[in-house]
Amino acid sequence: MMQKEFTGRKMAAILVAGFGVVVAVNFTMAAIASGSFSGVVVENSYVASQKFNGWLDQAERQEALGWNAEASRSGDRLVLDLENVPASATVSAQVRRPLGQADTRELTFVQTGEARLLSGEALPAGRWIVRVSIERGDDRWVSEEQIG
């Protein structure tokens, strides 16, 4: 059996093809990654660092209120179970997708129990980040959690 000669041209073709595959995969992955990024966490990290101590103070004031809200699903609705929240407080929620296309919705609620609220709108299936805000006068409590 006769073997064909392995030439420099064949080696060059193998190298070009191999690196071509690597470059093509890198460009594809970069395009997918940049297309799925929905935004930045903070616009300016220096400005955010200057506000950090204020955010800590705000968190301590929020903790002192003793309020809590747990988000969960009931079918296609969002349920908020409240704890130690005064009846005169205003509760609102905003939901957004954690990844992919930006999909943000404001939800309204109806009371279904003494400390339970049910969203008036259906919440499509999938993962969501729920931002609950409770306000009464100058007191404000905010929390974010993921449901899915």
Count Cα neighbours of 106 within 13 Å in the Cβ-side half-sphere: 4
d(CA 99, CA 84): 33
Q: Does domain 68-147 have CATH number 3.40.640.10?
A: no
Residues 18-36: tens digit of each pLDDT: 999 999 999 999 998 887 7
- Residue boundaries of the structural domains of the chain: 68-147
- End-to-end Cα separation, the chain, in angstroms: 63
Q: How confident is the model over 49-84, as pLDDT tens digits?
A: 999 999 899 999 999 999 999 999 988 899 999 999
